[in-house]
Amino acid sequence: MALKQLREMLDRKEISAVELTQEYLDKIESKDKTINSYITVCPDSAIEEAKAAQALIDSGNTSALTGIPLSVKDNICTMDVKTTCASKMLEDFVPPYDAFVMEKLKSQNAVMLGKTNMDEFAMGGSSQTSYFGGVKNPYDVTRVSGGSSGGAAASVAADLCAAALGSDTGGSVRQPASFCGVTGLKPTYGTVSRWGLIAFASSLDQIGILAKSAEDTGYMLNCIYGYDENDATSSKNSSGAYTSLIDSDIKRFKIGVPKEFFGEGLNDEVKTAVLDAVEYYKNLGCEIVDVSLPSLEYAVSAYYLISSAEAASNLSRFDGIKYGFRSSLGEDFGELIKNSRREGFGDEVKRRIMLGNYALCSGYYDAYYKNATRIRTQLKSEYASIFEKCDVILTPTAPTTAYKIGEQENDPVKMYLSDIYTVTVNIAGLPAISAPCGYDKNGMPIGMSLIGKAFNEKTIIALCDRFQRDFKEREAVI
C-alpha cells in the first residue's frame, strides 16, 4: 500500500501500528532467509517504537510517518543499533549517535524494522560484495538486486517494509530500484544532510529513498530534507512540498532525450521500453527535445577516479586502532594497521583504495585526478546548457536488466561500465528518479530515469507519478 493509505488506515484505527509492524516482521522472518535483504532486524525495538507511535495515534497527535515501518541502509548511523557497512571492518560497530535522517524519522515516530544489506562500504553495483552474503532479487533469486542499496530495494520490492532509506554515490539508489522494479529517488546534493552517513565519496554521496511510487518518495523526502549545521555541504535551498505538483498539468514541461544514452551498449529491450516512455509523454502533450551530453563517454572514468580518491581518504580512518576490526597479528604499530586493513576490507574496497591513492600520488595527480575534476566541470556545464532548452531529461537507468549472480562480479571494468547512465547525476549534483517502465522477456523490470534541475525534485516526482498512474505493469509474483 502507498504510504498515504497506510497513514489513513492507522489514523482510522483500521489497523494498529503494532499489528502493522508485526506483519512486516513476520514477512521478514518467513521470506528474508532467501532474499537476505537485512543484515540486522530489530523486532524488540520495532515493537516498542510501534507501541509509542500507537499512543500518539490514539491521542490524535500524529505526523506523516508515525507508526510507518521502514528499513534503513546499513551505512546510516543508528544509535545503539549495529551499523556495519556490510564489512568485517565494522562488524560489531554500534554508533553512539543517530544520523540526521534518523533524528528526523524519530521525530516523526516512524518505526525502524532493521538495517539493510549492501555492497561493502557502498562500493559495488550488485550488493554481492557484502561480508554478510549477497542480496538476491525478489523477482528472480538467481539474479542480483543491484547495488549498492540492493538490500533496501529488495526489502521494498518484497514487501518487507513500507519504504526504505538508501544512499546514492553513483546510482546506488536508482540502479537497484531499476533492477528490483521499485521507485528510487536521488535528491539534489545537499538536500538531505549526510551527517551520520558513513562516507564513501563525500562530494558525491547523497541519502536517497526507495519506495513503491514516486508519490511515496516525495512523501518521504518531505520528512527528511532540511538544512543541518553539522553538515558543511547541507543546503538551505531545499523548498519542501515535494508532492505539490502531483495532479498538475504536465503538458507545459519540455523533456530532453540525450542521444548518447541510446547508443552502443544499451540492451534492445531496455531501449524499446524507455523510448515507449518518451512516446507516452509526447502523446500527453509534453514537448520532446533532442539534446546532447558529449562528455558522457568520459563520465565513468571521471567518476571512479574522483570517488576512489575520496574513498581512499575517507577509509584511512579505519586502521584497527581507534575502532573497528583489529587484527591479532602484527609485532609493531605499522604491522597491526596493515594486517587490520588487509583482513578487515574486502577485495572491491581494497581495489578502490589502491586506485584512489594511485590517482592522488605525486606525478599522477595532474594526469588523473585533476583531469577528472575538469570533466566534472564540463559535465556540469553541459547539463546547464541542456536545461536551458528543457525542464527534465529522460534516460534509461541502466543499460541492462538484473543479471545473473556471478555474471559480472569478477570483471570490475564491466561492472564499472554498467554505471554509465547514473554517475553523471552525482557528478553534477542533480536530482533524479528511477521508476519501472517495462519488463524484459524474462519478466525482469526495466527502469527509466527522469533527471531534473537542482532543487527541483517536485517536477520529476510529478512527471514520474503521472507515468506510474497510467503504466500497466505485467503481473509479477514475488
| Catalytic residue annotation | 73, 148, 172
Please count the other Cβ atoms lying within 10 Å of the Cβ belonging to residue 279.
11
* CB within 8 Å of 411: residues ≥ 6 apart: none
The DSSP symbol for 78 reads B
8 Å CB contact between 216 and 326 = no
Nearest 5°: phi and psi at 443?
Answer: 80, 15
Q: Exposure pattern of 404-429 as b/e (b: 16+ CB <10 Å)? A: ebebbbeebeebbebbbbbbbbbbbb
CA-to-CA distance for 71 and 153, rounded, in angstroms?
10
| Type of residue at 4 | K
How long, in residues, is the chain? 478
Extract the C-alpha cell encoding 247. Answer: 495532479
| Residue of 34, 126, 109 whose CA lies nearest to 70 | 109
Distance set, CA 175 to CA 4, 171, 364 (Å): 25, 6, 31
Extract the C-alpha cell encoding 404. Answer: 545473473
8 Å CB contact between 460 and 187 = no
- Strands (E) located in 50-139: 69-73, 111-116, 136-137
The 3 state secondary structure assigned to 156-216 is HHCCCCCEEEEEECCCCCHHHHHHHCCEEEECCCCCCCCCCECCCCCCCCEEEEEECCHHH
Please count the other Cβ atoms lying within 10 Å of the Cβ belonging to residue 104.
20
The DSSP symbol for 399 reads S
| Residue of 139, 142, 200 whose CA lies nearest to 166 | 200
Please count the other Cβ atoms lying within 10 Å of the Cβ belonging to residue 268.
8
Nearest 5°: phi and psi at 119?
Answer: -70, 145
Cis peptide before 148 (omega within 30 of 0): yes
